[in-house]
């Protein structure tokens, strides 16, 4: 008999370094009296992250959304930008805040990222860029996207909010396209409480990006552009330095949890664990399953509610599609027929709890619950009116 968990199990929990390590960082900050506007912690974190992410250039930000907005400004994007509807609201909103119209392209049924076979037909005379999202840390088809962008003279941006530490064929994910944005929100594998970064290959961008995130201030007497406040402060940077120290430990614990899910979910019909292809180094940011209602016997929404009743709080990331938000529904690209795959995927995916402190027996229990909720192909027994005996058994799927 499976009992509900006594305490809520959330989809994630932030990694917290030992408190005494943070106290040491705070002492440094108190001594320096430098709290923000580019202190030593900030400088050190930029250096460390360039190495960790295997990128040549990096600028830190106070969060990923502002970073993405600045990325658009730094490339002077305008008109229309093609992106995915299967993402967090920050992706299209960063475009809209720049006066750019998001154009939603359907997604690939396996990677859930932009379907490159449909990209070209979304390009118009107003298109200035493609904004791919490495959703759940699953890389976009970076090679084909670049080919298409080069053919049409478009810029390429990546929302790599979920992709810290991901590599494709041993190449850091932040080296593809013109600019990539990483989120360092508390819910991410690597975090600075709130925070983010832009990475880019062209070193000339560094000066412009750093100018834009500091109000456009060049020096005490010159303001060159209408910039914004996107600066990461010293307390955020200090947290980042500590989280970085423990990153590999957190990542390997998550890898073990994913292996446990993989094993225990493998024999449940209609439940597929979503995993990246073999040439990708995963960061284990999310544990995503896809629910096939016909085989599992229940919908994704039913499974979500049932788990909730047992105190397991999964998330339907990223339902609803951005194209279904009231602020975007009027756009031509939100047409039902344009987004068939995204519409199906968004009804079938569920993010299960995943964080380093999640105990393996709890993972096994979550899997056992899912197994218990599985309703095999049901049978209706039709009783013949005349004889009262069982005449037939008709299998059907829900
Ligand atoms: N692009 C993409 C593709 C993104 O996914 C995101 C952010 C962005 C851009 C923007 O980056 P940032 O500007 O945020 O850097 C969370 C995060 O707030 C958000 O950063 C993230 N994506 C998104 C996928 O997840 P919510 O609204 O789901 O968070 P919340 O508060 O419901 O937290 C989820 C669970 O985590 C809670 O049930 C409990 C646990 N939790 C959360 C926090 C904040 C804790 O245990 N402690 C905590 O402090 O958005």
pLDDT digits (tens, 9 = 90+) for 343-386: 999 999 999 999 999 999 999 999 999 999 999 765 444 444 44
Using CB distances shorter than 6 Å, the residues near ligand 1 are: 10-14, 63-65, 87-88, 90-91, 133, 159, 161-162, 183, 185-187, 196, 313, 317
Q: Locate the ligand 1 atom nearest the alpha carbon of residue 87 and give its number.
A: 3
Q: Which residues pair with 349 in a beta bridge?
A: 290
Q: pLDDT tens across 317-340, in order?
A: 999 999 999 999 999 999 989 999
Residue 353 main-chain phi, psi, to 5 deg: -55, 135
**In angstroms, how far is CA 267 from the centroid of its own chain?**
27
Q: What distance in angstroms lies between residue 167's CA and the mean position of ligand 1's atoms?
A: 23
Q: What distance in angstroms lies between residue 352's CA and the mean position of ligand 1's atoms?
A: 14
Alpha helices in the chain (DSSP H): 19-32, 40-53, 64-74, 90-96, 116-119, 142-152, 204-212, 234-245, 247-265, 293-296, 300-309, 340-348, 360-373
Q: Which of 322, 283, 341 is nearest to 139 (CA)?
A: 283
The CA-based dihedral angle spanning residues 137, 273, 294, 383, taken in that order and rounded to the nearest 10 degrees: -150
Query: What is the C-alpha to C-alpha distance for residues 120 and 114, in angstroms, rounded to an integer?
Result: 11
Q: What distance in angstroms lies between residue 204's CA and the mean position of ligand 1's atoms?
A: 32
Query: What is the C-alpha to C-alpha distance for residues 176 and 223, in angstroms, rounded to an integer?
Result: 31
Whether 287 and 257 have beta carbons less than 8 Å apart is answered as yes
Of all protein residues, whose CA lies closest to atom 11 belonging to ligand 1? 64
Query: Among 14, 85, 88, 107, which is best to mutate for testing ligand 1, by the most ligand atoms less than 8 A from CB?
Result: 88
Query: What is the C-alpha to C-alpha distance for residues 393 and 120, in angstroms, rounded to an integer?
Result: 50
pLDDT score, position 1: 79
Report the chain's terminal Cα–Cα distance, integer Å. Answer: 25
Query: What is the C-alpha to C-alpha distance for residues 342 and 389, in angstroms, rounded to an integer?
Result: 47
Burial 69-98, CB ≥16 within 10 A → b, else e: bbbbbbbebeebbbbbbbbbebbbbbbebb
Of all protein residues, whose CA lies closest to atom 12 belonging to ligand 1? 64
| Count of CB atoms situated within 10 Å of the CB of 220 | 5
pLDDT score, position 376: 78
Of all protein residues, whose CA lies closest to atom 45 belonging to ligand 1? 13
Q: Locate the ligand 1 atom nearest the alpha carbon of residue 159 and give its number.
A: 1
Q: Locate the ligand 1 atom nearest the alpha carbon of residue 318 and give its number.
A: 24
CA distances from 313 to 13, 102, 169, 274, 310 (A): 12, 31, 34, 19, 9
Q: What distance in angstroms lies between residue 162's CA and the mean position of ligand 1's atoms?
A: 10
pLDDT score, position 383: 41
- Residue 347: exposure state from Cβ atoms within 10 A (0-12, 13-18, ≥19): middle
Angle between helices 300-309 and 340-348 (to 10 degrees): 20
Q: What distance in angstroms lies between residue 376's CA and the mean position of ligand 1's atoms?
A: 35
**In angstroms, how far is CA 294 from the centroid of its own chain?**
27
- What element of type H or E holds 58? strand 57-61
pLDDT tens, the chain, 398 aa long? 789 999 999 999 999 999 999 999 999 999 999 999 999 999 999 999 999 999 999 999 999 999 999 999 999 999 999 999 999 999 999 999 999 999 999 999 999 999 999 999 999 999 999 999 999 999 999 999 999 999 999 999 999 999 999 999 999 999 999 999 999 999 999 999 999 999 999 999 999 999 999 999 999 999 999 999 999 999 999 999 999 999 999 999 999 999 999 999 999 999 999 999 999 999 999 999 999 999 999 999 999 999 999 999 999 999 999 999 999 999 999 998 999 999 999 999 999 999 999 999 999 999 999 999 999 765 444 444 444 333 333 333 33
Angle between helices 234-245 and 19-32 (to 10 degrees): 140
Each as own residue / partner, the long-range contacts of residues 273-280 (CB below 8 Å, 24 or more positions apart, any chain) are 274/112, 274/136, 274/138, 274/349, 276/111, 276/137, 276/138, 276/139, 276/166, 279/168, 279/169, 280/138, 280/139, 280/166, 280/167, 280/168
Tokens standing for residue 350: 């569920």
pLDDT score, position 398: 31
């Amino acid at each position: 008999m499976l009992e509900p968990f006594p305490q809520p199990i959330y989809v994630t929990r932030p990694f917290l370094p030992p408190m005494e390590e943070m106290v040491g960082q705070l002492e440094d900050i108190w001594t320096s009296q430098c709290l923000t506007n580019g202190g030593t912690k900030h400088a050190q974190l930029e250096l460390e992250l360039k190495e960790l992410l295997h990128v040549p250039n990096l600028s830190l930000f106070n969060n990923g959304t502002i970073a993405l907005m600045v990325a658009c400004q730094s490339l002077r994007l305008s008109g229309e930008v093609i992106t995915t509807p299967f993402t967090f609201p920050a992706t299209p909103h960063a475009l809209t805040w720049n006066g750019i119209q998001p154009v939603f392209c359907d997604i690939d049924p396996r990677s859930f990222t932009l379907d490159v076979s449909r990209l070209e037909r979304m390009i118009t005379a107003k298109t200035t860029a493609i904004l791919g999202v490495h959703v759940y840390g699953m890389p976009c088809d970076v090679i084909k996207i670049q080919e298409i962008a080069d053919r049409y003279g478009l810029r390429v941006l990546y929302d790599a909010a979920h992709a810290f530490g991901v590599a494709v064929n041993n190449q850091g994910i932040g080296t593809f396209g013109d600019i990539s944005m990483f989120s360092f929100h508390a819910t991410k594998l690597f975090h600075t409480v709130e925070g983010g970064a832009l990475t880019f290959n062209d070193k000339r961008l560094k000066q412009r990006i750093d100018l834009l995130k500091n109000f456009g201030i060049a020096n005490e007497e010159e303001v060159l552009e209408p910039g914004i406040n996107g600066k990461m402060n010293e307390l955020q940077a200090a947290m980042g330095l500590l989280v970085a120290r423990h990153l590999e430990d957190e990542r390997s614990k998550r890898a073990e949890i994913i292996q446990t899910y993989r094993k225990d979910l493998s024999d449940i019909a209609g439940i597929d664990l979503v995993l990246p292809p073999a040439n990708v180094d995963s960061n284990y940011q999310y544990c995503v399953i896809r629910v096939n209602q016909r085989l599992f016997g229940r919908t994704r929404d039913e499974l979500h509610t049932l788990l909730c009743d047992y105190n397991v709080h999964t998330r339907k990331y990223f339902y609803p599609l951005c194209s279904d938000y009231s602020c975007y529904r009027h756009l031509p690209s939100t047409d039902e027929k344009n987004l068939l795959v995204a519409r199906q995927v968004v009804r079938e995916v569920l993010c299960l709890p995943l964080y380093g402190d999640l105990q393996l027996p709890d993972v096994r229990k979550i899997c056992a619950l899912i197994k218990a909720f599985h309703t095999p192909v049901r049978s209706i027994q039709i009783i013949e009116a005349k004889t009262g005996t069982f005449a037939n058994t008709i299998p059907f799927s829900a």
